[in-house]
Amino acid sequence: MASDFCSRLARSHDVSPTGTATEAAHWLLIEDPSPWSTDAVEDADWGPSVHGAIAGWTDTMPDLRVQLIRRGLERWDDPGRIRCIAVRSGPRPVVREWSLGAYEDIPALQVPEALRASGPATDAGPLVLTCVNGRRDACCAKWGRPVARAMADTAPEAAWQTSHLGGHRFAPTALVLPHGTHYGWLRPDDMADLVAAHRRGHLHDLDRVRGAVHQPRPVQAACLSLRRRLGTTALSAVQGVGAEKTDAQWTVRVRAADETRMAHVWQEQRGTPFPHSCGSREAKPETDWHVRWEGDETARP
């Protein structure tokens, strides 16, 4: 039933997407236009040597997340070649691309070394990854695919469909790399403005921003809180610079306008529990982030 779609349930429960982005500073994107299973990466038909290499890289880099990407079902970006893209997200990004002849060539890639490279920030246009993995959650297919089509119509060179990104109750959800902005509840008519904003070095619609994937979620919440206070969407205007956990809250340092500000961040359960995945009958509580800035007595989610 339509009422069982977790994305609709989340919206009807007035859930906030703030501070819910997937946490992963490093990303490995592997082109695979075959139909994807629920566990798309784990079930990919690449052979044991490839899966062994990926397991070794994720052991070496626990914050490395592997995604499948495609331009469309059964459609290669460059027929006969396989695109692989490694990305370090954040304010000093790294983007490294390879074009391979076979999946068996993947273990030869120097992925950790590429992601740890130093040097000037990468001048790479945005890559927009829209989750369309309906086998993982029905919402990602129902609402993600129209958004992915709109993105492909707007900027085909930047548009990729991707496997599960996390947080399907916020579907349609998309990730913009290399900055690492994770969005939720997008609409097809958002995508032209979204890609244009990132090309100018800005975020699109703070109410749809879940957070920056290279930051822990308490830092995501604090940065978005400060952005709303300052009314700024410039990517470089607000940066989380540290967080410490004490008891049930975090002390977060955020840099903006050449000033470091301190925030106390905590979570509170709110509303009536509801299923967070399509087809699930398990009702889970929802929590909101609250942010109190030093010198300010009010708390804001």
Q: How far apart are CA 91 and CA 94, in angstroms?
A: 10
Token output for 55:
């397991």
What's the mean pLDDT when you consider all of the chain?
Answer: 92
Cβ distance 264 to 250 under 8 Å? Answer: yes
* Strand, coil or helix: 165: coil
Strand partners, 268: 288
Q: What pLDDT score was predicted for residue 132? A: 96
Residue 3 has pLDDT above 90, yes or no: no
- The residues, any chain, with a CB within 8 Å of residue 104's CB and separated by 6 or more, are 47, 49, 50
Token output for 221:
């919440």
Other CB atoms within 10 Å distance of the CB of residue 43: 12
Q: What class is the 26-199 domain?
A: alpha beta
**Domain locations in the chain as residue ranges:** 26-199
* Strand, coil or helix: 6: helix
Q: Name the burial class of residue 300, with classes exposed (0-12), middle (13-18) and buried (19+) by CB atoms within 10 angstroms of its CB.
A: middle
Percent of the chain past pLDDT 70, that is, above it, reads: 96
Has this prediction a pTM greater than 0.85? yes
Amino acid at 279: G
Helix (H) or strand (E) holding 274: strand 259-275
Cβ distance 181 to 203 under 8 Å? Answer: yes
Q: What pLDDT score was predicted for residue 5? A: 87
Residue 283 has pLDDT above 90, yes or no: no
- The residues, any chain, with a CB within 8 Å of residue 222's CB and separated by 6 or more, are 240, 252, 254, 263, 265, 291
Q: How far apart are CA 54 and CA 279, in angstroms?
A: 31
Q: What pLDDT score was predicted for residue 248? A: 87
The DSSP secondary structure of 88-137, one letter per residue, reads: E-SSS-EEEEEEES-GGGGGGS-HHHHHT--SSPP----EEEEE--TTT-
Q: Which of 2-6, 117-121, 257-261 has the highest mean pLDDT?
A: 257-261
Tens-digit pLDDT profile for residues 95-154: 999 999 999 999 999 999 999 987 655 667 899 999 999 888 888 889 999 999 999 999
Tens-digit pLDDT profile for residues 230-253: 999 999 999 999 999 988 899 999
Edge-to-edge order in the sheet of strand 174-177: 94-100, 82-88, 26-31, 64-70, 159-162, 127-131, 174-177, 181-183, 209-212
Amino acid at 94: V
Residue 180 has pLDDT above 60, yes or no: yes
Residue 66 has pLDDT above 80, yes or no: yes
